[in-house]
């Protein structure tokens, strides 16, 4: 990892998605609702006609709903529940983007995760002795999965492939070499 705190922060900001958009939207909605309630209260205190609905009648309607209002209330409730779930998920998930930090002695280096996957696929194809097109890999966080389609008649040593991939990824950062999964396809291809 990078040494200084600013570099750590930079790479963290690059790897994780910002939550500012969701926060802004939620706050704007909150401000609008609060402003509306405030306006209605002031209008009622002054004694003039309400803007949209009198808060007291709105609460009464919500507490003692008639049949027509019940469906509207249900729809609103469902929409609010969905919005709430979306917000909770946005807040709790790490919001990782397809980038990975790589330690470097100068500055914060962040690379696309596809580069890690391609590196793993390349190492696997060299170790297994198959053409580059026969291997594919996907990487997420610090775990990498490599798929190898063997060439017919040439056995693929799964543990050797895993060792090679772990070694190559370990050169980027020791975190990437730890969780490597290798899958060798049952069926091979001719050359």
Partner 1 sequence: MTGGPDVPGRVEITARALTSCARAVAAERLGAPAKQVRVGLGDHRGSLALDITGPIAAADDIVGRATAAAAEVKDRVSALTGRQVGSTHIELTGIVRERETRVR
- The residues that touch partner 1, with contacts defined as CB under 8 A, are 126, 129, 131, 150-156, 184, 186-191
Tell me which DSSP letter residue 150 carries.
P
User: What's the full length of the chain, in residues?
Assistant: 191
How far is 121 from 146, CA to CA, in rounded Å? 6
Element (H, E) at 116: helix 113-128
Q: How far is the CB of 9 from partner 1 (least distance, A)?
A: 40
State which residue, 34 or 154, has the beta carbon closest to partner 1. 154
- DSSP three-state, residue 64: coil
Q: How far is the CB of 123 from partner 1 (least distance, A)?
A: 11
How far is 173 from 10, CA to CA, in rounded Å? 18
Q: How far is the CB of 191 from partner 1 (least distance, A)?
A: 5
- DSSP three-state, residue 53: coil
State which residue, 3 or 189, has the beta carbon closest to partner 1. 189
State which residue, 7 or 158, has the beta carbon closest to partner 1. 158
Q: How far is the CB of 127 from partner 1 (least distance, A)?
A: 8
How far is 94 from 176, CA to CA, in rounded Å? 18
State which residue, 11 or 125, has the beta carbon closest to partner 1. 125
């Amino acid at each position: 990892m990078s040494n200084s705190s600013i570099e750590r922060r930079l790479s963290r900001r690059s790897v994780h998605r910002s939550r500012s958009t969701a926060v802004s939207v939620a706050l704007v909605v909150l401000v609008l609702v609060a402003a509306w309630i405030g306006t209605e209260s002031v209008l009622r205190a002054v004694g003039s006609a309400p803007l949209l609905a009198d808060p007291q009648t709105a609460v009464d309607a919500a507490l003692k709903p008639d049949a027509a209002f019940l469906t509207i209330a249900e729809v609103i409730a469902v929409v609010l529940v969905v919005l709430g779930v979306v917000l909770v998920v946005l807040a709790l998930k790490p919001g990782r983007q397809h980038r990975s930090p790589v330690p470097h002695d100068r500055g914060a280096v962040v690379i696309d995760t596809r580069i890690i996957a391609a590196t793993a696929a390349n190492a696997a194809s060299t170790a297994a002795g198959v053409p580059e097109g026969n291997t594919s890999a996907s990487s997420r966080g610090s775990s990498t999965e490599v798929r190898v389609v063997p060439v017919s008649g040439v056995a693929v040593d799964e543990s050797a492939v895993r060792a090679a991939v772990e070694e190559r990824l370990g050169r980027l950062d020791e975190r990437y070499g730890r969780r490597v999964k290798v899958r060798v396809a049952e069926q091979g291809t001719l050359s």
